[in-house]
Amino acid sequence: MEHIVIIGNGISGVTLARHIRKLSDKKITIISAETDYFFSRTALMYVYMGHMKFEHTQPYENWFWKKNRIELLNAYVEAINTDNKSLKLANGSNLKYDKLIIATGSKPNKFGWPGQDLKGVMGMYHKQDLENLESLAPNKEACNRAVIVGGGLIGIELAEMLNSRSIPVTFLVRESSFWNGVLPQGESEMINRHIKNHHIDLRLSTNLKEIKSDNNGNVKSVIIEETGEEINCNVVGLTAGVSPNIEFIKSSKIETGRGVKVNRFLETNIPDVYAIGDCAEQHEAIGNRRPIEAVWYTGRMMGETLAQTICGNRMEYKPGHWFNSAKFLDIEYQTYGWVFGKKGRPDYEQHFHWKHKDDTKCITVAFNKNTNDFLGINTFGIRMRHETFDTWLTEKRDVDFVMNHLSEANFDPEFYNHYEAEILSAYNKQLQTT
Amino acid sequence: MSNKINHSMSLAKPDALDITTKQKIALAIGIVGLLIFVLALFNTNFPNQGVFLTLALGMISLGIIVYSREAYLTKLEGIKNDGVWFKSISSRGIWGWLVGIILTSFYIVLYFFPQYLGLGADGAVNTGLISLFDPLSQLLSGRNASQWFVYGTLYTIAILAFGYKFILKYRHNRYQQIRTVSVMFFQLGFAFLIPEFMYVMNNDLPYYDLKSVWPLNYYIFDEWSVKGFLSNGNIGLALILFGIISIFVITPILTYKYGKRWYCSWVCGCGGLAETAGDSFRQLSSKKMSAWKLERWLIHLVLVFSVVMTTAMIYTYLGYDSNNFWLTKGVFISLVIGFLIIVFTGVMIFKRHELGKDAKYGAIGLFVVIALLVIMHFTGTTDHVFYAKAGTLRSAYGIYIGSIFSGVIGTGFYPILGSRSWCRFGCPMAAILGFQQRLFSKFRITTNGGQCISCGNCSNSCEMGIDVRHYAQKGENIVRSSCVGCGICSAVCPRGVLKLENDSMNGRINPTEILLGNDVDLMDLVNQK
């Protein structure tokens, strides 16, 4: 029986395994040194915050794997030998495979800051990071202040986590406004204010110069590049993005760039070796997407696609319309289609922005100013229906249609206030004046 | 790391969040209020009972209100479940067990030994705790308090004060606020005040909480109850007719339109207490597959038990001669059989495929029951068996299900089994409404395309133990019969994936993966069986 070995038990690897099992009877082994069972990485924060226990982040009960004949192996892969199709494990043993899938995910970026390897400096990605944080920052007495470096989604989640235990947080963001590489200005500025409302010390246009240590090799303080200011702290969270976790692959014959290089069929340069999820890098970007997409949904879709290929129906990875979502403290964010921030915005892309006066809800609609085609929407504090926007994008609706039918896409709970009329009148007014 | 024992078994350290000074004062106020009850329990003679009762109830309410305001109004709006699994009381820690044991003991005394609370037997005056409530009872209905009046008062106070806490906690969510106001209104008006006033108007009428429908109100068709209604002329007759219409007309129509939530989480008192006072324990209900299997057996057995028990009760006090009263034993048995057949035929014709195997088991069970009833009736053995059994069945139901299950376990075990263990495992009303909801209702919880990140907040918060995430991560609508539509899964979802909806019956059940974002052809392949 063909033996499928998957390195990594995240959403990509597990989705792949589940779909292979649906389609076939192959032998499946998932290897992970991080945890015994699959868990939702995005939910780790809720464990620290006490909303859930770690076991609640596991979508399947422990008997699920045996019942579905998916073998779980707690081991660390040291090297891959593609010539004789075997893996060398850290415990000294070897494992043979017929088909190998690399789904090892990411690791936090470090940019060579002085002191970045001190005790107390950490990322927030693996379960071990959470355990680390638990011992470094169990409460505000043990951790007087934490400094977070890098303003993305993980950074703000880490800030929310620490905030839930009343630990003061200083948040260093290199950009002039939070996540404005991705978010349009109005949205980014609203989130800036929202962060400060939660008593988080947000410092914009601020870079980290170095992390200072005390006599025991623990973090003592950080120095800010621009002002030379020293901020005393016990924990430094490095959240300036993630990069593929592929160190152990570089010694093999598998081609790597920043990630494991794959074609549109998710195949590497070596036959029977594939890569999916955060660690996979497309030779060429698909549409407006980036060559590497460290996103939950992307990993899931790659797993579904590759399962078809492995089970004999060779299939190209064709992601549909872009979508994503996140939560900034108390504000939910959803995006459908493409809405660019400053970075990489095409000339033809024009935005309509509406913000509610309570400063916690806003939307930005992107459209082509030449053809009026609807390109995408960002919503903050208003839930929208994925299916509706997916349909409109496929049907290539124009922006007027979308604005006039916005209420059909609303996904807020019953009895919530609706803002579509207000949004539409703002939209009509703006069009008249411009 | 701390050396303290980790009661929560959580990965993280418990007791990370301390309560503020203001909350400590609020707790103290509440406990002093409770202390007055404890003193009364030990037969302290308070000089002015009215004043002390007001003081006790007032201080308890004030304590809860001040505590909650400090907990939620000091923070921005939004889901604030911080530390739920660290706190001893809400994670089956020592405080959780202690509260569970105290509550359970209280229920046992209340149901089986009311004399210990000071109930005066055979017209004797009340003493102890119950006598403390005499002034309020006199004020409302002009009679002295009973243990049920004491319980009703405390129950209502709990729903009102903790309801206020709930409203603060979910003040960003209007669905939750409106629903809670509804529950508070029905408890205060329909369950507490109206029955008391009805007594003032006509003191022969049996206690009747208008919103309590058979089989939850299992004593409505008891002989004493029916006689009580019938001896009260038109009002009584109207009430008993309303009771029957509630079961066969009002309930199905409302469930068709809104799902069983119109009752379970908007009106019902048991649900009301679970949603308000029980809110801190909702995460404790088991989501294991094994719990789900147990649930399906248990709740339907209770339903069958209550149907048989009621049938037997009514049968025994009906006569044979149609000249005395048109509803004779024979007519009644035929009606019951006819009704069961209509219901099951309807289900088999229209919903056979949705139920699958369950339909077959249901049909077999039905025919056995009907055959038994027919044989027993025509051989005359029904009379003997039912006559002997009806009383036994009735008292068994009253003790084991009406008291122990619904009260002692259902509420007393909140801090151990979660807030809705009665609704989930034992309530026959929930079984009937759930059956209707599953088969014909416009209600469903829809999921938002491919946006689920499988985080598990929804499942964790489900008081009915539904693994909501299981459906959400597949993009499948949730049409489970146990769902009470509380809407908390939707509220806690960090990605806005869940929405309670009343929509057309078409497309309500979509047992396919509709995760969006992928290539359309792939999704077709994924859904090929």
**Percent of chain A whose predicted confidence (pLDDT) is above 70:** 99
CB contact under 8 A, B76 and A197: yes
Average pLDDT over residues B374-386: 70
Verify whether the Cβ–Cβ distance A53 to B11 is below 8 Å: yes
Residues ≥6 apart with Cβ < 8 Å to B342: none
Dist. CA B344–CA B334, nearest whole Å: 15
Specify the pLDDT at position A254. 97
Nearest CA in chain B to A331: B78
- Report how far residue A389's alpha carbon sits from residue A400's, in angstroms, rounded to the nearest whole number: 14
Query: Terminus-to-terminus CA distance in chain B, angstroms?
Result: 51
Which residue of chain B has the CA closest to A394?
A: B520
Residues A174, A164: Cα–Cα separation, whole Å: 24
Angle B34-B38-B44 (CA atoms, 0-180°, nearest 5)?
Answer: 125
Q: Are A328 and A191 in contact (CB under 8 A)?
A: yes
Q: What is the mean pLDDT of residues A45-67?
A: 96
DSSP-derived letter for residue A201 is E
Alpha-carbon distances, residue A72 vs A8, A61, A68, A82, A384 (angstroms): 10, 14, 11, 22, 38
Residue B2 pLDDT > 60: no
Would you put residue A329 in left (φ > 0), alpha (ψ -120 to 50) or beta?
A: left
Backbone angles phi, psi at A306, to 5 degrees: -65, -30
Interface with B, mutate which of A383, A389, A416 (most B CBs under 10 A): A383
Do the beta carbons of residue A44 and residue A18 sit within 8 Å? no
- Provide the percentage of residues in chain A whose pLDDT is more than 90: 97
Contacts B494 to A, Cβ<8 Å: 327, 332
How much is the pLDDT for A275?
98
Q: Do B77 and A49 touch (CB under 8 A)?
A: no
| Interchain contact, A304 vs B174, CB within 8 Å | no
What is the residue whose two structure tokens read 């047992």?
A: B511
- Reported as a pLDDT band with limits 50, 70 and 90, residue B333 is confident
Contacts of B330 (CB under 8 A, 6+ apart): B320, B377
Mean pLDDT of the region A322-338: 96
Distance set, CA A262 to CA A82, A254, A281, A355 (Å) = 16, 10, 6, 41
In terms of Cα–Cα distance, which of B45, B519, B463 is closest to A309?
Answer: B519
HSE (CB half, 13 Å, CA atoms) of B14? 20
pLDDT digits (tens, 9 = 90+) for B477-486: 999 999 999 9
Q: Per residue in A255-300, pLDDT tens?
A: 999 999 999 999 999 999 999 999 999 999 999 999 999 999 999 9
Report, as an integer, the average pLDDT of B435-439. 87
pLDDT higher than 90, residue B208: no
Residue B381's pLDDT band, with cuts at 50, 70 and 90, is: low
What's the rounded Cα separation, in Å, for the pair B85 and A130? 16
Nearest residue of B to residue A416 by CA position?
B174
Residues in a beta bridge with A223? A210, A230
Kindly state whether A417 is in contact with chain B, defined as any CB-CB distance less than 8 angstroms: yes
Higher model confidence: residue A323 or residue B395? A323
Query: Could you tell me the maximum CA-CA distance found in chain B, to the nearest angstrom?
Result: 83
Q: Return the amino acid letter for B49.
A: Q
Q: Would you tell me which residues 58-77 of chain A have a C-beta closer than 8 angstroms to some C-beta of chain B?
A: 58-59, 61
Q: Within the 439-458 window of chain B, which residues sit less than 8 Å (CB to CB) from chain A?
A: 448-451, 453-457
- Given a cut of 70, is residue A159 above it in pLDDT? yes
- A51/B82 CB distance under 8 A: yes
Helix B289-317, helix B357-378: angle, nearest 10: 20
SS3 B59: helix
Report how far residue B461's alpha carbon sits from residue B85's, in angstroms, rounded to the nearest whole number.
12
pLDDT over threshold 50, residue B11: no
Q: Is the Cβ–Cβ distance between B299 and B420 less than 8 Å? A: no
**At B9, is the pLDDT very low, low, confident or very high (cuts 50, 70, 90)?**
very low
Contact A330 B76 (CB under 8 A): yes
Chain B residue at shortest CA distance from A418? B174
Verify whether the Cβ–Cβ distance A53 to B518 is below 8 Å: no
**For residue range B244-296, what is the model confidence (pLDDT) as tens digits?**
888 889 999 999 999 999 999 999 999 999 999 999 999 999 999 999 999 98
Indicate the range of A58-72, A191-205, B116-130, B209-223 predicted with least confidence. Answer: B209-223
Residue B431 has pLDDT above 70, yes or no: yes
DSSP H or E run through A203: strand A201-203
Give the pLDDT score at B495: 95
Interface of B with A in 270-299 (CB under 8 A): 283, 288-289
pLDDT in tens, A411-424: 999 999 999 999 99
pLDDT for the residue numbered B3:
42
User: Do B16 and A138 count as a contact with CB atoms less than 8 A apart?
Assistant: yes
What are the tokens at B513?
A: 């993966």
How many helices (H) and strands (E) chain B has is answered by 24, 2
CB contact under 8 A, B451 and A386: yes
Whether ipTM exceeds 0.90: yes
**Is A419 in CB contact (< 8 Å) with chain B?**
no
Write the residue in A52, A61, A390 that is nearest to B457 by C-beta: A52
* Residues in Cβ contact with B337 at an 8 Å cutoff, skipping those fewer than 6 apart: B370, B373, B374
**B12 band by pLDDT with thresholds 50, 70 and 90:** very low
pLDDT of residue B513: 67
Partners of B515 on chain A (C-beta within 8 Å) are 300-301, 304
| Region of residue A237 (phi > 0: left; psi between -120 and 50: alpha; otherwise: beta) | beta
Give the gyration radius of chain B's Cα atoms: 25
Mean pLDDT of B379-395: 69
Q: A383 to chain B: nearest residue by CA?
A: B496
Q: How far is B97 from chain A (nearest CA, A)?
A: 19
- The reply to whether B517 touches chain A by the CB within 8 Å rule is yes
Optimal mutation site among B178, B265, B289, B455, interface A, most CBs of chain A within 10 A: B455
What letter does residue A341 receive in the DSSP assignment?
A: -
Alpha carbon distance A301, A295 (integer Å): 10
| A342, pLDDT greater than 60 | yes
A51 touches chain B (CB under 8 A): yes
User: Would you state the pLDDT for residue B120?
Assistant: 82
DSSP B288-347: -HHHHHHHHHHHHHHHHHHHHHHHHHHHHH--S-TTT-S--HHHHHHHHHHHHHHHHHHH
B232 Cβ under 8 Å from any chain A Cβ:
no
CB environment A360-389: b (16+ within 10 A), e (fewer): bbbbbbbbeeeeebbbbbbbbbbbbbbbbb
Looking at residue B202, what DSSP letter applies? -
Tell me the shortest Cα–Cα distance from B109 to chain A, in angstroms. 35
| CA-based nearest residue to A101, from A192, A5, A11 | A5
Lowest-pLDDT range of A192-196, B286-290, B293-297, B301-305: B301-305
Both tokens assigned to B481 = 């019969």
Q: Among B7, B11, B17, B523, which would you mutate to test the A interface (most chain A Cβ atoms within 10 Å of its Cβ)?
A: B11
Are the C-beta atoms of A364 and A341 separated by less than 8 Å? no
Is A391 an interface residue toward B (CB < 8 Å)? no
Contact assignment for B79 to A330 by CB distance below 8 Å: yes
Which residues of chain B are within 8 Å of residue A415 when distances are taken between CB atoms? 174-175, 178
pLDDT band at B51 (very low <50, low <70, confident <90, very high): very high
Residue-averaged pLDDT of chain B: 85
Provide the pLDDT for residue B359.
66
Give CA–CA dist A270/A262, Å, rounded: 10
B424 CB-near residues (< 8 Å, 6+ apart): B285, B295, B299, B430, B463, B464, B465, B482
pLDDT digits (tens, 9 = 90+) for B483-510: 999 999 999 999 999 999 998 888 788 7
CA distance A296 to A125: 13
As a whole number, mean pLDDT of residues A125-149 equals: 95
pLDDT at B453 over 80: yes
Put simply, whether B526 touches A (Cβ < 8 Å) is: yes
CB B431 within 8 A of CB B260: no
Which residues pair with residue A242 across a beta bridge?
Answer: A108
pTM for the model stands at 0.92
Number of other CB atoms surrounding residue A314 within 10 Å: 10
The whole-number average pLDDT for the span A427-432 is: 83
B135-139, B166-170, B346-350 — most confident range: B166-170
- Look at residues B256, B65, B258, B270 and name the one whose alpha carbon lies nearest to residue B183: B270
Which member of A135, A387, A415 has the closest CB to residue B178? A415
| Radius of gyration of chain A measured on its C-alpha atoms | 23
